[in-house]
Amino acid sequence: MKAEILCVGTEILLGDIVNTNAQFLSRELANLGIDVYHQSVVGDNPKRLLEEIKDCFKKVDMIITSGGLGPTPDDLTKEIGAKFFNKKMILDEDTVNKLKDYFDKMGRSYLKGNNMKQAYFPENCIILKNDYGTAPGCIINENGKILIVLPGPPREIKPMFSNYVLPFLNNYTNGTIKSRVLRIHGIGEGEMAEKIKDLIDNSKNPTIAPYAKDNDITLRITARAATEDEALNLIKPLEYKVKAVLGDNIYGYGDTSMEEVTAKLLIDKNLSISTAESCTGGLIAAKLISYPGISSIFLDGAVTYSNAAKMHRLNVKKETLDKFGAVSEETAREMAEGIAKTSGTDIGLSTTGIAGPDGGTPEKPIGLVYVGLYINGKTFVKRLQISGERNRVRNRASVSALDFLRRKLI
Amino acid sequence: MKAEILCVGTEILLGDIVNTNAQFLSRELANLGIDVYHQSVVGDNPKRLLEEIKDCFKKVDMIITSGGLGPTPDDLTKEIGAKFFNKKMILDEDTVNKLKDYFDKMGRSYLKGNNMKQAYFPENCIILKNDYGTAPGCIINENGKILIVLPGPPREIKPMFSNYVLPFLNNYTNGTIKSRVLRIHGIGEGEMAEKIKDLIDNSKNPTIAPYAKDNDITLRITARAATEDEALNLIKPLEYKVKAVLGDNIYGYGDTSMEEVTAKLLIDKNLSISTAESCTGGLIAAKLISYPGISSIFLDGAVTYSNAAKMHRLNVKKETLDKFGAVSEETAREMAEGIAKTSGTDIGLSTTGIAGPDGGTPEKPIGLVYVGLYINGKTFVKRLQISGERNRVRNRASVSALDFLRRKLI
């Protein structure tokens, strides 16, 4: 089965929003072994939308759309889908009742005007419940063509897909594509590609593909097979070979993040942590706290942006700041030790650096960041030099600080 | 001029990455008044890429590609572009020298293997310097068809576009599309759409379109005219009408954010701030610190995740925690006052809440967040009830906390 992902919305063509739905749907279809040949985006324009649906159905068997289901007048995807299949639009009483309940619960009394539009569907379609919003989706399945119409908001489309579209699609999959994603930090993309060049060049099934993301590099090993187990068995030997080359630079697998990996390590080892951040300004704490269950080991964090706060909160010595400066190995060391001591934690993790756009000097250029790590009575400091603008420096510094901790924990 | 944005990369079709380049390019072209008819994505597959280029050039005059310029063997966009235009690939000595310099600077000695691929270009093309990476882009312009080939990494494509593609495109624009984006917080999308329904329904040029983002709602007023000034003059009267309806729910204009708006207000009024965060865990501090120049007024932040830290760092009373709980109006109040007092700042902003997935009770459900705000001797507390999963709750809480502060500042 070949599929096209068709996102609808002038706001996407104008660049107002990032199309995360295309990513979500692509990943889900890949997991099902359904080939996504193409992603495309058209505006909220009935004529062009109809043309696109016609064109796509010449090439693929299935189109999944997102967007254009809302209450505003330019939301037209259902209507155009009905037109393509020559269907009338019919009022669905169940949906009317759910809309009434929803607006009652929200304390808004009206069910009028545009909101009613969301209760009309192409006749004989499968209606897909929207558990997180007011606009249900639908599936039209006729003459070997399947049109799956889903809402635009990410927090609506994801549960609708998982709960109602997946069971439907399971009837249409034949074989599977499985992937194993290796997440990498601490080595450049080019250097890595060179190191595993032979593996990349000589692998057909599975294939291996590197790509760089904002804060790390990912390697995806992808196998196609009749069953999931067969695919996974194809992946394993290649994964071992990659691991032999890249070692500890591989920090995790699949849909994880440096903060999740580090948080899990801390929880497993039952090591409590506190953070003292200057240039990263709360990003390390925010990242760690994004992980549920962190409250057992994350006790305290300080965002000591001013020198006064560094002295007052962390007992960094005035002489240290005067002699070496706020951005120095010595200050990073005292910050890490200070936060661990004043919080009573096993670990103290600190950052101090120059994120820019101002404040750089020839000796201490923009992008210079020191990471301090106090752990079990010892303190380590790592010097980073990060290129790019302010928030890239801050983000990379926070991920690299967590990576520094991770490597000490494993 | 009609354009298509064509992003190349199997990693996009597999859902490994979000296609932010399509957004960036769309926005830039909209500003130039160039119509983006379509966005599409194809994989790293030479045959399908060539087909897509052929198909697109039947409908549009210009294709801008991103991706497929790197050193790995599956990067083929330049080569396929050359094939479409029947061009040879020629080695560019300038690029060879720059690659050498780059690798020397990085302390990597080799310029070998795949890296050399990046120095070959279709003959007679315009080479676009890459100031932030190793892969230059290029423009092929022949027989009324323009192919602009750009790299995939966002931090490379953006400066390349601004510095080298924009001056080229200025020769091809005719009229302009201008937009004014109003950013909104504190009102639901449906409620807002209802309030400005007449304006939406009766506006043709400019048009007005609402859409919801993760943490706020945006309204875009878009006018098409011969000149920028004319377009802006068309926008103004409609903008006034919208403002009259939505008032202070409009927190900013254009490509801004709640943190930027709030940071600017604080700096303008020269009010110093400190933060005390529990459930948001550093997000408010991290958001404020993303704004350059914040160091003059952001002095100190605490991520007091544990009760011990709340008492020790912020002087929250044990009796308050015992009697009302960590998630309570009273604790939020003492946190805000405590951080302001211990930091000596004009303002103290605090959050305490239940982000989930655990910890909810019937009285204090998941999503309950109290925001405390100490300002000029008075303390205010706002109760929020946010739906969704852990990190949605944390994000919305941090934005709503900043909005609470913003409304007190204006």
For B297, the closest chain A residue by CA position comes to: A306
From residue B204, how far is each of A305, A320, B178, B394 by CA, in Å?
A: 49, 64, 14, 39
Within 8 A of A68 by CB-CB distance, chain B residues are none
The answer to whether the CB of A184 falls within 8 A of the CB of A246 is yes
The answer to whether the beta carbons of residues B312 and B302 sit under 8 Å apart is no
Q: What is the pLDDT of residue A213?
A: 62
Q: First-to-last CA distance in chain B?
A: 44
Place of tokens 């192919």: B147
Model confidence band, residue B110 (pLDDT cutoffs 50, 70, 90): low
> Average pLDDT for residues A124-130, to the nearest whole number?
94
Question: What confidence score (pLDDT) does residue B94 get?
Answer: 92
Question: Bridge partners of A220?
Answer: A181, A209
**Quick one: closest CA in A to B177, which residue?**
A14
From A253, A285, A313, give the residue that closes a domain.
A253
pLDDT score recorded for residue A113: 63
**Nearest residue in chain B measured CA to CA from A154:** B214
Instruction: Give residue B105's pLDDT.
Output: 66
pLDDT at B332: 98
CA B289 – CA B360 distance, rounded (Å)? 31
CB atoms under 10 Å from CB of B362, counted, come to 5
| Distance between A409 CA and the closest CA of chain B, angstroms | 22
Q: Buried (b) or exposed (e) across B107-145, using 16+ Cβ within 10 A?
A: eeeebeebbebbbbbbeebebbebebbbbbbbbbbeeeb
B319, with CB counted inside 10 A (0-12, 13-18, 19+), is exposed
Q: Flag whether pLDDT at B77 surpasses 70.
A: yes
CATH classification at residue A188: 3.30.70.2860
* Cβ–Cβ < 8 Å for B216, B252: no
Give yes or no for residue B399 having a pLDDT over 90: yes
Question: How distant is the alpha carbon of residue B354 from its chain centre?
Answer: 27
DSSP B369: E
Total domains in the fold of chain A: 3
Query: Over the stretch A374-406, which tens digit does the pLDDT of each residue have?
Result: 998 999 999 999 888 899 899 999 999 999 999
Buried residues in B221-230 as b, exposed as e (16+ CB within 10 A)? bbbbbeeeee
Same domain, B342 and B280: yes
Question: Which residues in chain B touch residue A283, judged by CB atoms under 8 angstroms apart?
Answer: 282, 286
pLDDT of residue B204: 81
Does A242 share its domain with A144? no
pLDDT in tens, A313-369: 999 999 999 999 999 999 999 999 999 999 999 999 999 999 989 889 999 999 999
Range with the largest mean pLDDT of A176-190, B50-64, B191-205: B50-64
Residues B287 and B397 in one domain: yes
Residue in chain B lying closest to A7 (CA): B39
**Angle at the Cα of A187 from the Cα atoms of A185 and A191, rounded to 5 degrees:** 145
A73 upstream amide cis, omega within 30 of 0: no
Q: B170: which DSSP letter?
A: G
Mean pLDDT of A67-89: 91
- Which of A13, A26, A191 is the closest to B108 by Cβ? A191
**Residues B133 and B19 occupy one common structural domain:** yes
Q: What is the DSSP string of B372-401?
A: EEEETTEEEEEEEE--S-HHHHHHHHHHHH
Q: Quick one: which of B265, B152, B69, B159 has its CA closest to A389?
A: B159
Does A337 reach chain B within 8 Å, measured CB to CB?
Answer: no
pLDDT at A163: 85
Q: Which amino acid, residue A340?
A: A
Q: Which two tokens stand for residue B355?
A: 């982000």
Restricting to A residues 290-319, those with a Cβ less than 8 Å away from any Cβ of B are: 290, 292-295, 298-306, 308-309, 312-313
Residues 6+ apart with CB under 8 A from B11: A209, A211, A220, B17
Task: Tell me: do A9 and A42 sit in the same domain.
Answer: yes
Please name the member of B15, B74, B189 whose beta carbon is closest to the beta carbon of A30: B15
Q: Do B166 and B24 contact (CB within 8 A), yes or no?
A: no
Mutate to test the interface with B, among A41, A49, A176, A255 (most CBs of B within 10 A): A41
Residues A23, B38: C-beta atoms closer than 8 Å: no
| Closest CA–CA distance from residue B210 to any residue of chain A (Å) | 8
Q: Which residues of B touch A300 (CB under 8 A)?
A: 302-306, 308-309, 312-313
Whether A214 has a pLDDT exceeding 70, the answer reads no
Place of tokens 């962190």: A294
Q: Residue A120 carries which DSSP code?
A: E
Using DSSP bridges, classify how beta strands A273-277 and A347-353 pair: parallel, antiparallel or unpaired.
Answer: parallel
Regarding whether A202 and A293 lie in a shared domain, the answer is: no
What's the CATH code of the domain at A322? 3.90.950.20
| Residues in chain A closer than 8 A to B306 (CB atoms) | 295, 299-300
Contact between chains at B191 and A108 (C-beta distance less than 8 A): yes
Interface of B with A in 209-268 (CB under 8 A): 209-214, 218, 220, 222
**Interface-testing mutation among B27, B34, B41, B314, with chain A (most A C-beta atoms within 10 A):** B41
Verify that A110 and A188 share a domain, yes or no. no
What whole-number distance in Å separates Cα of residue A137 and Cα of residue A156? Answer: 10
Interface of A with B in 57-76 (CB under 8 A): 70-74
What count of CB pairs under 8 Å joins A to B? Answer: 295
- Average pLDDT of chain B is 91
When pLDDT is averaged across residues B381-391 and rounded to a whole number, the result is 91
Which CATH number is A12's domain given? 3.40.980.10
Does A301 contact B299 at a Cβ distance shorter than 8 Å?
no
B8-33 pLDDT per residue, tens: 998 899 888 899 999 999 988 987 87
- Percentage with pLDDT > 70 across chain A: 96
Task: Return the pLDDT at B345.
Answer: 97
Task: Out of A88-92, A254-258, B107-111, B211-215, pick the least confident.
Answer: B107-111
Do B264 and B245 share a domain, yes or no?
no
pLDDT digits (tens, 9 = 90+) for A264-316: 999 999 999 999 999 999 999 999 999 998 999 999 999 999 999 999 999 99
Question: Taking residues B97-104, what's their average pLDDT?
Answer: 80
At B279-319, the pLDDT tens digits run 999 999 999 999 998 999 999 999 999 999 999 999 999 99
* A187/B contact by beta carbon, under 8 A: no
Residue of A nearest to B21 (CA): A18
Closest CA to B283 of A74, A357, A408, A290: A290
**Same domain as A324, residue A190:** no
A152 and A58 housed in the same domain: yes
Q: Are residues B228 and B270 in the same domain?
A: no
Q: Do B30 and A19 touch (CB under 8 A)?
A: no
By Cβ distance, the residue of B13, B285, B292 closest to A282 is B285
Predicted confidence (pLDDT) at residue B57 exceeds the cutoff of 90: yes
Distance from CA of B72 to the nearest CA of A (A): 7
Q: Are residues B11 and A155, on separate chains, in Cβ contact within 8 Å?
A: no
Cα A259 → chain centroid: 13
Q: Both A152 and A239 in a single domain?
A: no
pLDDT, one tens digit per residue, over B127-145 is: 999 988 889 999 999 999 9
What pLDDT shows up at residue B294? 94
Helix (H) or strand (E) holding A217: strand A217-225
**In the predicted model, what is the mean pLDDT of residues A106-125?**
77
Under an 8 A CB cutoff, do B194 and A23 touch?
A: no
If you average pLDDT over residues A230-250, what whole number do you get? Answer: 95
User: What is d(CA B274, CA B342) in angstroms, rounded to the nearest whole number?
Assistant: 9
The SS3 call for residue B153 is: coil
Tell me the pLDDT tens digit for each residue of B167-200. Answer: 898 778 767 778 898 999 988 877 888 899 899 8
Residue B106 CA to residue A279 CA, distance in Å, equals 24
For residue B284, give the amino acid letter: I
The pLDDT mean for chain A works out to 91
Choose the final residue of a domain: A139, A155, A172. A172
Q: What is the pLDDT of residues B30-51, one digit of tens each?
A: 878 788 989 999 998 899 899 9
- Would an 8 Å CB–CB cutoff place B25 in contact with chain A? yes
pLDDT of B111 > 60? The answer is no
Return the exposure string of B21-33: e unless at least 16 CB atoms fall within 10 Å of the residue's CB, then b. bbbbbbbbbbbbb
Q: Does B116 touch chain A (CB under 8 A)?
A: no
A contacts of B22 (beta carbons < 8 Å) = 12, 15, 19, 41
- Interface check for A131 against chain B (CB to CB < 8 A): the answer is no
What is the C-alpha to C-alpha distance for residues A23 and B12, in angstroms, rounded to an integer? Answer: 7
Q: Give A83 to chain B, closest Cα distance, Å.
A: 21
The pLDDT confidence band at residue B214, using thresholds 50, 70 and 90, is low
Mean per-residue pLDDT, A162-176 = 82
- What DSSP string describes A344-387? T-SEEEEEEE--SSS---SSS-TTEEEEEEEETTEEEEEEEE--
Domain end marker among B172, B196, B221 = B172
Q: What is the pLDDT of residue B353?
A: 97
The pLDDT value given to residue A71: 79
Q: How far apart are CA A339 and CA A310, in angstroms?
A: 10
Mean pLDDT of B266-285: 97
- Say if residues A279 and A393 touch (Cβ distance below 8 Å): yes
**8 A C-beta contact, residue A14 and residue B27:** yes
- Give helix B390-409 / helix B258-269 axis angle, nearest 10°: 30
Q: Which residues of chain B make contact with A182, given a CB cutoff of 8 A?
A: none
Place of tokens 């996504």: A36
3-state class of B337 per DSSP?
helix
The C-alpha angle with vertex B380 and arms to B376 and B384, in degrees rounded to 5, equals: 145
The range of the structural domain enclosing residue B7 comes to: 2-172
